[in-house]
Structure 1
Amino acid sequence: MTTRKADAQHPVQPPAIPSAAATPLTPYARLPRRHHDRHIAHSTVDAFGQAHWLLTAREPGREPGRGRGAMKPYDALVVTAGPDGRSQETELSALRARFPLIDALPDGGFVVADARSRRSEQHVQVFDALGRESWAFRVGDAVEDLLADRAGQLWVGYFDEGVFGDDDLSRPGLRRWSAGGEPLWAYEAAQGASEIWDCYALNVAEEGAWVCAYGDFTLLEVRPDGSVRQRANSTKGATALAVHQGRVTFLGGYRDDRDRLVDAALHHREVRPYASGRLVGPDGAPLGRRRTVSRGPRVYVQEEPYTAWTVLDISTQGGAGS
């Protein structure tokens, strides 16, 4: 897969707003040490706040002599842990994803998708609570984010190679599916409205979703009925965002702004920044390579080597730099 986002060569546009001190993350959940010898194929935090690690014996890869996309099925272990330190394990059999993305479903099952796929491949597998595959379907190539909501619906954001590729399923940039593979909704830009060329940041909240996408980074609020409100946004390049009670906090940006926090107020047609700062680790150290998951007022952050999740929760913390 291609790494873009913070490394992309786009002009830096720092916000002309007051700059504040650093905001530290809070420790959240850890992978038990006994599993540290396994390969972490993917990890996420679900809609109910549980962290999950998809562990394999080695990095998934194609078998020698096989063509593109031809995978020998492999087994995996899902380790689930919460802030209380308790953990549980679920074995999954016969996974086929070369670049796996995982999330949990409200019935105790899991969904695993391959980020890259051909149009002939059923690249999304759904497993029941016992780890048995129930069915498979496809959602399109170049999956950037796969997030299940509390109802078990799947929000899928796509990166540019899908939006501008030859897979029609990916072209809207954002879609919502049932856990059974039924297409429920797709983003469609009205005349003069913002297109999703690359879904940089996707927040799946209890009701609806929020999107900040390349090219113009307009903040899109997707309501439960599928209607979309657009708000003009001057903060460019954010890769995660949190939303709470009329406030949005953006994380990330290009080059030196990859750890930037920008607080903004939600107005009818725009977001208005009022403070900025930097996000740092719980110990105050700069952040390294990381994954992020955005859920309502929370941004979960997992730094390399991806064995622990930390959290920024704007419903309990002040603004940037507080």
Structure 2
Amino acid sequence: MKKVSIEDAVGQVLAYDITEVNKEKGVKGRAYKRGHVIQESEVEHLKSLGRNTVFIEDGNDSGVHEDDAARMTAPLAAGQNIDFDKEPVEGKIGFYAACEGVFKVDEQRLYELNLMGVTSLPTIHNNMRVVKGQQVAAFRIIPLVCEYSVMDKMKEILKTPLIEVKPFTVKTATLLITGSEVYEGRIKDAFGPILTAKLKAYGVEVVEYRIVPDKKDVVVGAVKELAEKSDMVITTGGTSVDPDDITAAAMAEAGVVYDMKGTPIQPGNNFTLGYMGDKPVCAVPAAALHFPATSLDILLPRMLAGEKIYKEDLAKLAHGGLCHFCKKCNYPICPFGRG
């Protein structure tokens, strides 16, 4: 690769992609592709792009070209259910979800890779819900060419894939509404429609909806029965500190194992998540009736992907776990629950 004046480049092979940015035309993209033979008629246009000198191919490779670095990195970084561009454009390769599910990235290795300073691999946030075809990451090297040692180090970091999408595996759910005031008809249940709509948005079918009084033995029996009928059980009510609030205790007596009662997330502190074997069973607090996004919304995608969430996972959510309570909620495109 050799640097020459634009006049001397006529008839030569371009060694890299050249980008055009024109705000008036709304254009930002590749104007000339690597491998293009520069024509006399293109000199003025190239000068208008600020190119008085360019790099041309001369058969002398002194490192790894940006396109080759992208081609080498993509299959190493991509894990299960991740697609990527077949060819780089302007040295960049994009990564995309191959199915609907939860995006996962090894944050420590992502940090190590980007700490190298030569490589650039930004991603969307870990644990975000994604749909098929959605871009989740991008890669390029910052310079046009990097040393072979950079690629060797990057290969070491990427011994195992860096990113993946876990598909949703939960297909059915049952709802257990607790509360004597609802059971006796004193007030109308508001949880059912809200939770059914949230689950429907993920393609989850509610196969049974049951209302029971605040009686521990009744709740225990209902949790056991409903767990036999669906992939997931969601209970509501009885999650705070009042004497009649027995839902979490009833869950435990029914055989639900949970690491932590409540979460360090607001709104939704009293959300409790546990498991009967591998089956998620959770108690949703009243915050879900009032706020559009709560701890339930943060954790639901991971639950639906069959991921087991432990005390350590919940504790990490304290950073970023306070909602901004915006006048117009834009969740999930916001920092709430992103760490």
Q: TM exceeds 0.5?
A: no
- Of Structure 1 and Structure 2, the greater helix share is in 2
Shorter chain as denominator, the TM-score bin is under 0.3
Q: Max radius of gyration: which structure?
A: 2
Give the structure, 1 or 2, with the largest relative contact order (CA under 8 Å, sep 6 or more). Answer: 1
TM-score by length of 2: 0.23
- Of Structure 1 and Structure 2, the greater strand share is in 1
